[in-house]
Structure 1
């Protein structure tokens, strides 16, 4: 059964949010502003939407947040060309007066070919955020593995360093939208990428892909010389579905609803979660957002992401 909550509307208060007091009105305010029609009327311009998303995120920086901008996440001495090293930077904000805070590593969208790092608009400003830039295909990255490698390095930085800022390294989450969701799944499911840094996927508190491609990403295939049609599904070493299993961190997959969501995207994500459950995964969930298209799924999905991070998501109706 698919979970379909109308989080984009006020009716969700009685169905979902106010239950047991787990969702604040502030979350609804953020969701309403992010998902407002005025924002999505501007979808013809990716640049305009990117500016709006970044502006909303800036407005949610808490008074107690310390902000560190343009930090490298690769260790000093990493062998990489100058353009790549210049791209591999992050912005880190964290609550300076909170001990044991949770941390979200956010990977931006853009098809792995464009986009820029930004924080996301969460109501709880005591959740630290790491906004990551990674090498892009057709620019600094030569192959899809470069993008995944960067995402893994940023996640490893968080696992290794948040404790020195007061955070809990056992409460590090990785999430992203679209291409960022693809990267979050690859880092959080394929053990090869974190192993390079001495970590494993189960060191993560959870992964939250929003509208991510679970088969081999179409642009990863394109830049590898694959001439097959975009919607030809392929499950290979660079697809999250290849790593569906039991021994993974908690997973919350969020997606828009067909026919508004991108073709086959919701179905892929349903299949991923169904496959994980078939293996015996006890904390893998799929949430489908009614009437949400690919872009709106991000803003409408943020309240779910926040509840997941706060361990406040209502019980899975399919849980046994």
Structure 2
């Protein structure tokens, strides 16, 4: 485990937060449907993406960002801090419980990632540099797609081909909304097929797990992530990190975003060294 104090200073030095370093040009397209020719009104309303593309740059990495909200609310977004960092950002909207089951929400997330794989190169990016990220429920979706390979396999995508995952305060046991579907109390932990922990395996893409401080986070959130981290290491994954942001509660999106940028840039630097 790496503590926040050292990492936050390094992240600011590595990333830089001054607008004077921002790229001058970028394009943004909103409300692009990622299901083709759907006749479902709810899908057509919710299953949309916004995409931010850096101009005058090619072969860039793309962060697919899933918003939080307990899988019952929220809205697609492109976090402001992620702009002007040299990579694309895709903000994903998805359907909510109880209108649909949690499994269908994960399937929405997979459909959105499939859209990115199919379309990012035509916009100048690389399908070999797609990163999944998000906060809370959104981070849960990213981990589910990465660890349970079946969702992306349906789209002829190997989850191992993801460039990496940066998860901000995800549930790693069965999501509480999925437990509610089964009539299980919110404070009764379970691990079943709707838990990232259920799908622990070897040879996953690089994964960075970030939470707030263990005593300030939502109940057990740090411990869930610590357990996933430990199990991923035990089965043989080396490129896995657990970062605890001391002094921050569940609303730890910032300062976690600079760490997200630092992680992606670190993976890109390693990729360049291989060439």
Question: TM-score, structure 2 length as denominator?
Answer: 0.91
Q: Which position in structure 2 is the counterpart of 1:23?
A: 15
Match of 2:254 among 299, 315, 318: 299
| TM-superposed deviation, 1:233 | 1.5
For the Cα contact (< 8 Å) 2:165–2:206, is it kept in 1? yes
The 3 A distance-change label for structure 1 pair 124 and 63 is closer
Which of 28, 32, 39 pairs up with 1:67?
28
Do 1:307 and 1:313's aligned partners in 2 also have CA atoms closer than 8 Å?
A: no
Deviating more after overlay: 269-278 vs 229-238: 229-238
Structure 1 position 61, deviation (Å): 8.6
8 Å contact from structure 2 (residues 28, 52) kept in 1: yes
Query: Where do residues 59-138 of structure 1 align in structure 2 (5 Å cutoff)?
Result: 62-74=23-35, 76-78=36-38, 81-120=40-79, 121-122=81-82, 124-138=84-98
Query: 1:95: how far off?
Result: 1.1
Listed as ranges, the matches of 1:1-320 within 5 Å are 2-6=1-5, 12-13=8-9, 16-17=10-11, 22-26=14-18, 62-74=23-35, 76-78=36-38, 81-120=40-79, 121-122=81-82, 124-139=84-99, 142-222=100-180, 224=181, 226-295=182-251, 297-311=252-266
Q: Compute the displacement of 1:83 (Å).
A: 1.6
- Aligned residues of 2:83 and 2:89 also touching (Cα < 8 A): no
SS in structure 2 of the partner of residue 22 of structure 1:
helix
Inter-CA distance 64–195: structure 2 relative to 1 (3 Å threshold): same
Task: Work out whether residues 15 and 261 of structure 2, in 8 Å CA contact, stay in contact via their aligned partners in 1.
Answer: no
How far apart are residue 62 of structure 1 and its match?
A: 4.8
Give the deviation of 1:312 after TM superposition: 6.4
Q: Please, which moves more after superposition, 304-313 or 200-209?
A: 304-313
Tell me the distance in 2 between the aligned counterparts of 1:288 and 1:114: 26
Closer/same/farther in 2, CA of residues 313 and 263 from structure 1, 3 Å limit: farther
Q: Tell me, which stretches of 5 or more residues in structure 2 are unaligned? A: 271-275
Structure 1 residues 243, 205: closer, same or farther in 2, change over 3 A?
same
In the alignment, structure 1 segments of 5+ residues that lack a partner are 30-59, 316-320
**Aligned counterparts of 2:50 and 2:130: Cα–Cα separation in 1:** 16
Q: CA deviation at 1:24?
A: 1.8
Aligned pairs, number = 269
Whether contact under 8 Å (2:121, 2:127) holds in the other structure is: yes
Contact 1:65 1:125 in 2 (8 A): no
SS at match of 1:103: strand
Take 1:100 and 1:137, find their aligned partners in 2: how far apart are those partners?
37
Give, in angstroms, the shift of residue 77 of structure 1.
3.0
Partners of 1:88 and 1:135 within 8 A in 2: yes
**Distance in 1 between the 2:259 and 2:53 partners?**
20
Q: Secondary structure at the match of 2:266?
A: coil
